[in-house]
Structure 1
Amino acid sequence: MTIKPTFTDATPVTLEAPPLSFLDDVRAGLSKPQKVLSPKYFYDEAGSALFEAITQLPEYYPTRTEIGILDACGSEIAALLPEHAALVEFGSGSTVKLRRLLHHLDTLAAYVPVDVSGEFLRGQAEALQGDFPDLRVEPVVADFTRDFDLPESLNGLPRAGFFPGSTIGNFDPHEAEALLRRFGRILGPGAHMIVGVDLVKDTAVLETAYDDAQGVTAAFNLNLLTRINRELAGRFEPDAFSHRAVFNTDASRIEMHLVSCDAQAVRVGADTFRFAAGETIHTESSYKYTPATFRALTERAGWTWLTVWTDPEALFSVHALRLD
């Protein structure tokens, strides 16, 4: 691979005001009739390690299937993107999937990973820079669910967005539509987007992907309570809750819940929250689309849908979009 832009230091640029606090979100979520916690709080150090373990499970098809599509169709994907572009990855996390595309993006001008965790982002950017020393890497610390500006050093470059992992599925359809509009504002007219989207399939395949036999996903879900205990002076007993994953056919989404095994009261800081036996905390939704329903969503958000790639079993899809 030959990438010719100038070297840049991999120090993240912070362009974002701090989001609402973890405590504020927990208080608000546990005060709702259907208790809810945001999945963005899954990813402390332990949660991130557990999620990496999930991606290696035999039941969890999304990661390996999407990587397979990127490997098989990477040259076609790269051919649709403008030459000498800045590639902005929203919620970059690990660079595993980006690395599969880099081998096809010979004229890439810059890579811009965007993530809320500055320390993690710095580590990933430095590792990538070490492996691709001629690649211009410009990390940005920001919450991609809020508007932010890209570095001025990218002015004049064509822009492309990269949003793999079916993260789009963690948003309600109207939120996903708003998110794609936000990406359009950030990237600007003429931008392209590559988006990973999980597909509707047999319910048993979906539910086992989120409730594996080894209990790794259950541990990942329950770790959210452990994090609340550690960071917010919570008094959850994780053993008093169980993990549940179910496909909601009407909403076309997998739902993950933490189920209270008995009636109980739990303190978090100065607040007390009461649970009935069997009451749940909704911790994550993962919406599943058909290629046609996702295309319709992107067009409502103002993007022109270009094409889609899927694996042979039609488990997962990667979509290409353009903003005219």
Structure 2
Amino acid sequence: MKRYADLALRLPPASERWAGDAFRAELRAWVTAAVGEPRSLQPVTLRPWATVWRAETATGVFYAKQNCATQSFEAALVVALNDLAARHVVPVTAADTTRGLFLTPDLGTPLGDAELGADDAIDLWCRVVASGAHLQLEVARYVERLTSAGLTTLAPADCVGYVEEQLGGFEALPAGDPRAMPAQDVAAVRAALPRVAEWADQVAALGLPLTLCHNDLHGHNVFDLGGELRFFDFADALVTEPLAALLVPLNALAHRRSLPPEDPELRRVADAGLEVWSEYAPMAQLRAALPAALRLGRLARVESWIRCTAPANDTELARWGDRPAYWLAALTTPPPVRP
């Protein structure tokens, strides 16, 4: 049994099943049993890796989500998170962990959908990363519960072996496969393996616990309920060291605002997340190790993208199939923040 996602895996296209009448009927029956007969049941999102449907019933509006087989753990994970850290996550109305299907109430507009000025946007990013780190801190002692729910562990000590395994997977793909990694990128990543070991050692030396890595942390995956942030969309999650979770917000902020790695706004957002871990290591050490942690955080993106592309049809694979190779090659490029 493979420890990590299998790059060569091809599954029946999930999106084609979700678009069919049989799934609609199956979903309607499940929603009816959970919250009553829907007055309307409409798809909101249909991707190769997940589908989300809006159900309006006499008891309220709900959102039903089902993930592809390779990310179906999310249903069990959100149930576990509601047990372990309910004030940080969206509540679950119903869940079928066997089918990877769950239902959540309508909580309004995600925080990131609001129109904000530049200063307010930075404040929002700081809130998101700090609250995300507090969620990580709260569940760190329950890692076994998270892995039992289905999360893959990718610790710093695993990173060199992980890169070697995935490079072998890319080299084994047939010619012309849309998931293929250019030979020059394979060579560059292989040459960087000694640096990967150094980065892993630097991050491990901080002594931070392994914990939940959301792996897609941004304002569009969180609600503000009375001043408390509630996170959702955990399908990309892994168990890693905690600083890896800062990759997505810092990368997104840097790209959206064209900020250089030394920009003080990026540092401010990074510090908002790092401060949560300052009881484990001094801020100076956390800042110094952050670039290494952000590089290794790209491996979590590789892992989730391999899972997401497994159930893609040919058209979808042509669109998204290069994502795992992109993130693995990004290992050799500078991180979005410098110390």
TM-score band, normalised by the shorter chain? under 0.3
Per the normalisation by structure 2, the TM-score is 0.25
TM-score between the two structures when normalised by the length of structure 1: 0.26
More helix by share: 2
